[in-house]
Amino acid sequence: MRITKAQHADQRLIHGYTFPGWVLALGDGKLKARSFREDAPIDWIQIPQLFLIDPGFDPVQSIVDDIYDSFPRNHRHPAYLTSRAIITPTNATVSTINNFMIQNVPGNPTTYYSSDSLLLSTETADSFDESYPTEFLNTLTFNGVPDHEITLKVNTPVMLLRNLNPGLGLCNGTRIMITSLEDNYIKGNIMGGSYDTDEVIIPRIVLNVENSKWPFILKRRQFPVQLCYAMAINKSQGQTLEKVGIY
C-alpha cells in the first residue's frame, strides 16, 4: 500500500501516528486492541475520531459529500472520477451508494434487464424449471456478476466485470465513461491506464454462474458492467486512488 499524503493537513498525531502511519500500523497488526465488555474478547480496533466522517442523519449522503465533493461540477471529468471511490464489504451497499450517486447525474436513465435461465441436462430441465421460475432467478445476485436490472446514464463511470478483450484494454476491473447507451451495446471511453480515452463498445455476454448454495448453474445474459462510484473491497485492489472512503 502506498499512502502519499495525510487526510488532514495539520498532520496531527493520533496515538503517536499520523493518518498514513496509522493505516500502515493497522495493516501490520501493531495497534492495541480492545473489547466492548469485560467478558468479550479483545479483538476490536478503535478508529480515532479524527479519521471518521460524521454520519449525520444520512450516512450515505455524508460519505458522498466528503469523497465526491464538488460532484455537480466534476461529474463528467474522468480524472476526477478515477481518483476517488467509496469502498465497502458488501455488494448490497455498493448498489445502494451507486444508485444514490446516479440520481445526482443529469440525464434520462436507461435500464437493461438480463435474460436468465438454467443450464441443465435435458433429463432434469423440466422439474427445475417448475421449482425455480424466471422471476426467482432474476432476484439472485452473485459476486462479480451483473445484476438482473442495471440502470445507467450517459456520463456515468462503469467497471467491467469480465475480461472481454485484453488486447484492447477491456479487462476485468477496467473503468469506462459511458458516452452512448444503445439497445444492444454500450459505447464509452476507457478511463486511465495504457488505453486511456480509447473508445470501446461493450456487448451483452452470457455468464454461467455456479454457486454451491444452489443445485443449478445460472445462465445470465447481460452487459458485464456495474457503476463504480462505490465498489466492493476486492474490486478496489489494483486501482490507483487518491481519495478513498470506507463505508
Per the CB < 8 A criterion, the answer to whether 101 and 229 are in contact is: yes
SS3 content of the chain, % helix, strand, coil (to 5): 25, 30, 45
d(CA 88, CA 96) in angstroms, rounded, equals 11
Global confidence as pTM = 0.82
pLDDT tens across the length of the chain (247 residues): 455 554 444 455 555 677 778 888 888 988 888 888 888 888 898 888 878 899 989 999 999 999 999 999 999 999 999 999 999 998 889 999 999 999 999 999 999 999 998 886 545 555 566 678 889 999 888 888 999 999 999 999 999 999 999 999 999 989 999 999 999 999 999 998 889 999 999 999 999 988 778 888 899 999 999 999 999 988 888 778 888 999 9
146 φ, ψ (degrees, to nearest 5): -65, 150
What value, to the nearest 5°, has the Cα angle with vertex 169 and ends 165 and 173? 95
